[in-house]
Chains A and B, each alone.
Chain A
Amino acid sequence: NAGVTQTPKFRVLKTGQSMTLLCAQDMNHEYMYWYRQDPGMGLRLIHYSVGEGTTAKGEVPDGYNVSRLKKQNFLLGLESAAPSQTSVYFCALRAQGETQYFGPGTRLLVL
């Protein structure tokens, strides 16, 4: 996974609870992305960052917030979790030549 780690690997939340997913890189890449993948579907972009201190909305940003205070870390927050946010969340970073390297994923179940 080219030095991309995600924490936690698995989490169960109750509706209305909040949590933060952490994506960390041990390299120096500017671009980082958060995707979600629902069963049988492709990945959909939630938010992305083009560098430290910057964030932008992707295809499905509602219900999520992000922060990139340090270049190495990209945080995805759920302020009030809903069952519709049950999914697998993948972080990715963009290396040279636009190749993206993905983390192992975080499985989130919202009851």
Chain B
Amino acid sequence: DAKTTQPNSMESNEEEPVHLPCNHSTISGTDYIHWYRQLPSQGPEYVIHGLTSNVNNRMASLAIAEDRKSSTLILHRATLRDAAVYYCILRDYGSGTYKYIFGTGTRLKVLA
């Protein structure tokens, strides 16, 4: 079962910031929080990941709560090309390797 909880859908206006929340109350101390997004008719693509501290890259920022039970992906200025399904993922360790357990994600709609 997915170890994360996300809203099914969100909307944003173009050029405005977007905050995509994720709850992961069962996270363990060594679990990284990963975010991927999936554009229509494409495979998922990596966005960002982090452990404890907030993280920034050219695509987005990741804000992690102090207790690590929730996180927020921040797109600073949404564009129409950011319309996608965003997945917040934790690793699941078993049989000697880490695996990702995908939930249903958040479908982001960007309004022009």
Interface string of B53-95 (1 = CB under 8 A from A): 0000000000000000000000000000000000100010001
Chain B binding surface, main DSSP class: loop
When the two chains form their complex, are residues A92 and B104 in contact, meaning their CB atoms are under 8 A apart?
A: no
User: In the docked arrangement, what's the CA distance between A31 and B97, Å?
Assistant: 9
User: In the docked arrangement, what's the CA distance between A58 and B104, Å?
Assistant: 18
Interface residues of A in 31-64 (CB under 8 A from B): 31, 33, 35, 40-45, 48, 50, 56-59
When the two chains form their complex, are residues A99 and B49 in contact, meaning their CB atoms are under 8 A apart?
A: yes
When the two chains form their complex, are residues B44 and A98 in contact, meaning their CB atoms are under 8 A apart?
A: no
CB distance from A80 to the nearest CB of B (A): 26
Classify chain B's interface size.
20 to 34
Partner-binding segment picked from A12-20, A65-73, A100-108: A100-108
Interface-centre pick from B45, B49, B105 (highest chain A CB count, 10 A): B45
Query: Which B residues lie within 8 Å of A104 (CB)?
Result: 42-43
Interface string of B27-46 (1 = CB under 8 A from A): 00000101010000111111
* In the complex, B111 has a CB within 8 A of chain A: no
When the two chains form their complex, are residues A40 and B43 in contact, meaning their CB atoms are under 8 A apart?
A: no
When the two chains form their complex, are residues A105 and B104 in contact, meaning their CB atoms are under 8 A apart?
A: no
When the two chains form their complex, are residues B95 and A1 in contact, meaning their CB atoms are under 8 A apart?
A: no
Nearest B-chain residue to A94, judged by Cβ: B98
When the two chains form their complex, are residues B99 and A100 in contact, meaning their CB atoms are under 8 A apart?
A: no
When the two chains form their complex, are residues B46 and A101 in contact, meaning their CB atoms are under 8 A apart?
A: yes
When the two chains form their complex, are residues A98 and B98 in contact, meaning their CB atoms are under 8 A apart?
A: yes
A-B contact pairs, 5 of them (CB 8 A): A42-B102, A45-B100, A48-B97, A102-B43, A105-B42
